[in-house]
Amino acid sequence: MNTKQSIIDAFKLKTPETSGCVPVTIFGGGVWMVRRLKREFDELLDDPQDYARLIVDATKELESPIVYVGSGYGNYLPAALGGTLKPHELGPPEMRAPIIKGSADELDALDVEMIENDPWIAKLREAARLVSNEIGKTHIVATTAYAPFTLAGQIYGVEELMRATMRKPAEVEKTLQFTTQVLKQFYRPLLQEKAITMACLADPTASGDLISARTFKNFGLAYLQEIIGWLKSQGVFTWLHICGDTADRLELIAQTGADCFSLDYKVNLVKAKEVLGGKTCIAGNVDPVKYFFNGTPDSVAEASRKCIAEAAGGGGFILTSGCDLPPTVKLENIQAMMKAACL
């Protein structure tokens, strides 16, 4: 039941063929995989074969039909544009400072093709190719990246971007135009080679905890529509995740064109199904801290069954965590969710 095709069927809003079962997958998991082996991000990616082997082995162990190459490596793309990274004790590397120091006009001196000279971007793409060659026929191979609005925050500065949406909208628009082109440049080689099945876009800065639905509509939506439309025109599925409570913008999210919207644990699944059902596949949304980190296999299974009861009816649903997995989650708790997908 839990196969590549079952995920594709969910994207197409079909009802599962196997009665009593729903498709289930981990979401992200990159930080968890790296920290589980007590590795460092740079050290691991320095050898794409080593990184690809880690992903493949973990995916097979978890029996997950989707693999997310680049999960945890989101800041490597803005770093390829001139930013610098600082390590994090448990989480992924962070940007030391925004690239833009004063004005978005500084972007005029940057060429999106400069990422082609970055060795880390080359290694991420190579890892995706290696994973695809090994398990691409049986698994959905995705490459993850920040969506345009969040990538803009990494380049412009998140707080500065928030203020600019009110005081300098033209600055925001110029930065978003740039980040959308950066994403196309990043994905283009992998799409041309048909090395991936899906693009996974993470947009935490578009969270309802950070910006209003009006700001999302005025700034985030059009660029999500552009990048998602472009990706789908290249023949890949699209998975969108926005952290935090997005209940007030679900109608707008349906307009992005994403094949699947991954819900944060803060979103009421019943309401999400009412709004998105029949329009967009939804995935979610077991609380990653309450259940995966602090819970037990039994509590994870119970929370998983509750999600299924609330949103699986009529198809177009995938069981997963309601945000990325914390780095120190116990393996048995993840496996509990995977097993709970069949009642």
d(CA 77, CA 101): 18
- In this predicted structure, the answer to whether residue 1 has a pLDDT above a threshold of 70 is no
CB distance 31 to 72 below 8 Å: yes
Which is more confident, 44 or 229? 229
In Å, what is the CA distance from 93 to each residue of 74, 77, 79, 199? 9, 12, 10, 21
Location of structure tokens 């190459």: 69
Q: Over 90: is that where the pLDDT of 19 sits?
A: no
Closest C-alpha among 9, 145, 13 to residue 65: 9
Mean pLDDT, the chain, rounded, equals 95
Instruction: Determine contact, residues 258/300, Cβ cutoff 8 Å.
Output: no
Q: Alpha-carbon distance 265 to 321, whole Å?
A: 8
Characterize the bridge pairing of strands 281-286 and 94-95.
unpaired
Structure tokens at 99: 């690239």
Q: Are 250 and 272 in contact (CB under 8 A)?
A: yes
Yes or no: say if 303 and 311 are a contact pair by the CB < 8 Å rule.
Answer: no
Residue 66 CB-density burial (10 A; 0-12 exposed, 13-18 middle, 19+ buried): buried
Helix/strand/coil percent split, the chain, to 5: 55, 15, 35
194: left (phi over 0), alpha (psi -120 to 50) or beta: left
CB 67 within 8 A of CB 27: no
Sequence spans of domains, the chain: 4-340
**Cβ 282 vs Cβ 7: under 8 Å:** no
Q: What is the pLDDT of residues 303-312, one digit of tens each?
A: 999 999 999 9
Assess contact for 241 and 201: CB atoms under 8 A.
Answer: yes
What does the pLDDT read at residue 169? 97
**CB 142, CB 199: distance < 8 Å:** yes
Question: At CA 272, angle to CA 267 and CA 274, rounded to 5?
Answer: 150
- Please check the confidence at residue 270 and state whether its pLDDT lies above 80: yes
Number of other residues whose CB lies within 10 A of the CB of residue 232? 15
The whole-angstrom separation of Cα 232 and Cα 138 is 21
Residue 58 has which token pair? 């973990």
Cβ neighbours, 10 Å, residue 12: 12
Between 9-18, 109-118, 227-236, 281-290, the lowest mean confidence (pLDDT) is in 9-18
Nearest 10 degrees: Cα torsion 316, 24, 149, 256? -10
* In the chain, % of residues over pLDDT 70: 100
Architecture of the domain whose range is 4-340: Alpha-Beta Barrel (3.20)
pLDDT at 17 over 90: no
Calculate mean pLDDT across residues 209-219: 96
46-63 per-position pLDDT tens digit: 999 999 999 999 999 999
Residue 269 and residue 256: Cα distance in Å, rounded? 19
